[in-house]
Each structure stands twice: as structure tokens, then as C-alpha cells.
Chain A
């Protein structure tokens, strides 16, 4: 087990790992996304309440799930970097931030597009949407903090601390926004409620969630490879690897 951890800290090893995994993960993810989307768009049954606009769920929910998970992944990488001073953890954290932010933005945009035909408004202040917006700001904060420091090694450490503070706060934020919403909720509708979902709609959703997780892993590896190429452009191991 220690060997694996040791290898994870070795840039050449991780680079080789990415090189080996990306060639099959990329097509696999692409296929999963296309199949999942087609299933959700064309084969899943029409919702009797919302009609066909609900099909946006097949990208909205996976994006939201992965954006939340992504923050924890980023914070974990930050923790590892802070405690064990492993450069690769630094790079992983830096890579995760914009990816997570992008997923959060996609979740918010698709949520708004879903909201318009379904509930008549582009923006609704319900618990999930509001929490997602706050999560977006947490991501933006980490990215902005990173940009503010000139010394990027120190910057990464600051971001690690911020992400950890954010991780502790996320459950608190989600819980309190939930609470806030339940207190002010208009008597009638619950916008993003947890209504029982039929199996024929659930399976494509689960499939897309898995596909999005694979996508996150893929994007992380692609970005990691880019960072490694940039950081170690003068290192012998990298030069050898590229020129042979």
C-alpha cells in the first residue's frame, strides 16, 4: 500500500499513469455521455407533470452532484499537499478548482433553463439552487485566492487552507439554506423536491451521474498532464519521455 502512495507522489509515475489511462478513458467517457444523453432525451418516458422539459435533469443533477464532490476532492488534495507537502497534490487541487467551478456553472445554467418552462421563472430561490450558487462562490474564492498570490507554491497552500475551511462550512451552509427555505416556503410547491422517481427515469440518471464522474476524472487527468508538462518541462525524465 505504501508503494502506491509513494508512486502517487512521483510525477513521472503519475504522468505515465495518465498516458496509459487517458487513451481508453476518453472514448469510454464520450460514449457513456452520448449513450446516457440519448437514453434520457429520447428513450426515457415523458413526465406526466412536467412534460419533456424534465429531461434536463439528466445533465443538471449529474453536474450538480459532481460539482459538490469535486469540491471535496479539491479540498482533499489540498489537505494532502498541506500535510505531506506533495507537489502533485498541489497540482491536482489547482486542476480540480476550475473544473468544479465549470460543473457548478453548468448546474446553475441548466437549472435556470429547466426552471423557466417548468415553474415560469429563470431563477427561483429554492434551497438547492441557492446552495449551488453559494458553492459556486466558494469555488470562485479558491480560484481568486490562487490568482492573488504571485508565488504559486505559497498560493496553493493558502488555497488548501481555504478549501478546508470551505469543506467544514459546506454542510453547515446546505443545512441552513434548507432550513431557511423551509421557513419561507410558499405554501404550495416544493421546487426541487425529492419525489419518488420511476425506475425507467432513474437508470439513465444514475448512468449519467457515473458518466459525469468519469468525465471529472478524465478532465482532472488531462489537466494534470498539462500541469506536469509545464512544471517539469526542464526535467530529464519528461524530456526523455517526450522525445523518445
Chain B
């Protein structure tokens, strides 16, 4: 990779992100599968809990968020794996651009084709669980931020486990405890919206999480990738 000193950082990020997004679209199943997973698991809940619409509506926020969590986990399990195996991750680490910066395009692309899509599709799944349309804006807003945080945290875990055989379960074990605050805030926002309360506090919490995550996670991710590359 050429020396970046003369090139605008934003331009670099934009270019790289576009490239990664195009790569993602090359295998559309990577984008569709999490959606299908989401739908399938959402279907399991009425089947398991009974179709009573009132009860489903009561449980809808929790169900939607737990499933979003799991779908995100699945996306994070795929992060960095291909690049690790074909050596391009090592190249990236050795390049002059700081690794913490150069992973951002991949993560952005992963979020755009993963979390973003899930967040926009969520109201549809919410409707299947009896979630009123009025809650849709809060649902989408909270999920947009929540999936961003979960991707950043998941990427830290992925960075640490990419070199490990069958690291998927290990990744889940490492990340799910860290997802819990996101789950709590997200369901809280939705609950407030449903009962004419104020979702602002919960949404602000999520916003703070995204900001903090964007600042701190890339450092941890880069450190984790370097550790994995030493294997």
C-alpha cells in the first residue's frame, strides 16, 4: 500500500469502504443470510410461546433485540476470517497506515451490509410480533446504533479469536456479556416508546456507546489482530 501522507484520510476511507461494500455484494448470501436468520428465529418465538397477540406484543421488544444480538454475532463470526486466511490481513498490518485506521472501512462495510440492513428490516419483523407501527422509528433508531456498537465489540472479539480453531463459540462467549448493556438500553428505548414514555435517555446511552466505541474499539481491534497474526 502506497504512502498515505499526501492523501486525504476521508477520501481513503470512502474509497476503501466502497471497495469492501462491493466485495460484500459479490456474495449476496452474506447479506441475505443474516436477514433470513433473523426472520427464522423471530418465527420460532410465536411457535414456542403461543400465538397470543397480546403476549407477543408484550415480549416483542425483548425478542427483537435478542434476535438482533444473535444475528450480529453471526456477522461478527465472519469478520477478518477470509483476510486472515489469505494473508491480506498480514499485509494490512504491515502497511504504513495504522491498523486501527485501516480496519475501519471493513467494519463500516460490514455494518452497512449487516446491521444497517437488519435495522431497516426490523419493523417488518416487529409487525409480525405485534409491535405497533408507532414504535418503528424508535426501533430503527435504536437498532441502528445498537448494531453499530455490537459490530465494534464483536470485531474486538473477532480480532482476538480469528486465529483460533472453531473460534465461533469462543467469540460468542467473549462478546455476549459485553452486549448486555446494549440489550438493556435498546429494549428500554422500545418499551418507553410503546408506553408513551421518553426513549431519549436510552437512545442517548446508545449514542454514547457508538461514540465511545468508535474511539476505543479500533485500538483494541488492531491490538487483537496483531496478537492473532503472531500465531
Q: Using CB atoms and an 8 Å cutoff, list the residues of chain A in contact with chain B.
A: 82, 134, 137-138, 140-141, 144-145, 148-149, 151, 154, 157-158, 161-162, 164-166, 168-169, 172-173, 175-177, 179-180, 183
Partner of A158, one of B176, B180, B185, B224: B224
CB < 8 Å A-B pair total = 74
Q: Tell me if B177 is interfacial: C-beta within 8 Å of chain A.
A: yes
Could you give, for residues 146-168 of chain B, a 1 whenever the CB lies within 8 Å of some chain A CB and a 0 otherwise?
A: 00000000001000110111010
Question: CA separation between A177 and B187, bound complex, in Å?
Answer: 12
> In chain B, what residue has the closest Cβ to A140?
B173
Contact present for A158 and B227 (CB under 8 Å): yes
* Given A148-B167, A158-B224, 16 extra CB contacts under 8 A: A140-B173, A141-B174, A144-B170, A145-B160, A148-B164, A151-B230, A154-B230, A158-B228, A161-B160, A161-B224, A168-B216, A176-B180, A179-B184, A179-B188, A183-B188, A183-B191
Partner of A162, one of B160, B180, B191: B160
Contact present for A145 and B184 (CB under 8 Å): no
Can you list 22 pairs linking A and B with CB atoms under 8 Å apart? A137-B176, A137-B177, A138-B177, A140-B173, A144-B173, A145-B160, A145-B174, A148-B165, A149-B231, A151-B231, A157-B227, A158-B224, A158-B227, A161-B227, A165-B220, A166-B178, A169-B181, A172-B181, A173-B177, A173-B180, A176-B180, A180-B184
Query: Which B residues are in CB contact (< 8 Å) with A168?
Result: 216
Query: Which B residues are in CB contact (< 8 Å) with A164?
Result: 220
Q: Using CB atoms and an 8 Å cutoff, list the residues of chain B in contact with chain A.
A: 156, 160-161, 163-165, 167, 170, 173-174, 176-178, 180-181, 184-185, 188, 191, 205, 216, 220, 223-224, 227-228, 230-231
